[in-house]
Amino acid sequence: MLVDSHCHLDFPDFQPDFDALMQRAERAGVGMMVSIGTKVSEFDRVLAIAERFDNVYCTVGIHPHEAAAEPDIDADRLVALAAHPKVIGFGETGLDYFYDQSPRDRQRAVFRVHIEAARKTGLPVIVHTRDADDDTAAILTEEAALGPFPGLIHCFSSSRALAETAIGLGFYLSLSGIITFNKADDLRETVKTLPLDRLLVETDSPYLSPVPKRGQRNEPSFVALTAAKLASLKGLDESRLAQVTTDNFLRLFTKVSR
Ligand code: NI
């Protein structure tokens, strides 16, 4: 069984053929999916899908792009929303200095709110980081000094230095279709050196379709393409890779029961 640890099932992109794509995921061996929140104001929409399917879980949080739009969030509100049995983590949150859609100080403040919620509950924080490795590493390190919290760098495509910091703090790293992209040789070299017991796979669908689906809408069934590439980079057969990444997922996301 594979797990798509990061998708956005509530996005309108999936509306036209939702039931068919859920069936394709099942046929591709995707036994569980985590539908990731991007706005607290739209959390109901995310939760509704998780409630409808036994094998869909979700997270609650505010994407760094939305940090300015939803400034009033506090950790207690996130913690309260995560009391629902299908809510298994916080995010996605973090820093995006590539698009800079929210002011950086707001991004940093909202990121720390999510970390506080993770620390209070022991549920993982799902981190988005783009062109912000230094600040992401600094915030994770500072916050960890205040007390431990579990977490995941999603769609990992950063430097080896950030990987080492994150792993040193006990974090996991999730790999997306980016590892199949032609230009991603540096990332593939980094991935070869990452510890197998810290790796997950994801689609980030509807974005980032893996080769050979690149340019098309991504969907959870395509996580099998990313898993196959990761298996070859690690010199494992695909069933072993599926087992290891699923075990890692279950170790990190402690609210999920098999
Ligand atoms: Ni995402």
92-149 tens-digit pLDDT = 999 999 999 999 999 999 999 999 999 999 999 999 999 999 999 999 999 999 999 9
- How far is C-alpha 71 from the chain's CA centre? 22
**CB of 163 closer than 8 Å to CB of 171:** no
Average pLDDT in the chain: 97
pLDDT digits (tens, 9 = 90+) for 64-92: 999 999 988 999 999 999 999 999 999 99
Give the Å distance between the CA of 235 and the centre of ligand 1: 28
Give the Å distance between the CA of 149 and the centre of ligand 1: 21
Q: What is the pTM of this model?
A: 0.97
**CB of 208 closer than 8 Å to CB of 13:** no
Give the Å distance between the CA of 143 and the centre of ligand 1: 23
Give the Å distance between the CA of 206 and the centre of ligand 1: 9
Give the Å distance between the CA of 164 and the centre of ligand 1: 22
Name 57's bridge partners.
34
Give the Å distance between the CA of 92 and the centre of ligand 1: 7
Give long-range contacts, CB 8 A cutoff, 24+ apart: 150-153: 150/118, 150/122, 150/123, 150/124, 150/125, 150/252, 151/115, 151/118, 151/124, 151/125, 151/126, 151/127, 152/5, 152/89, 152/124, 152/125, 152/126, 152/127, 152/200, 152/252, 153/127, 153/129
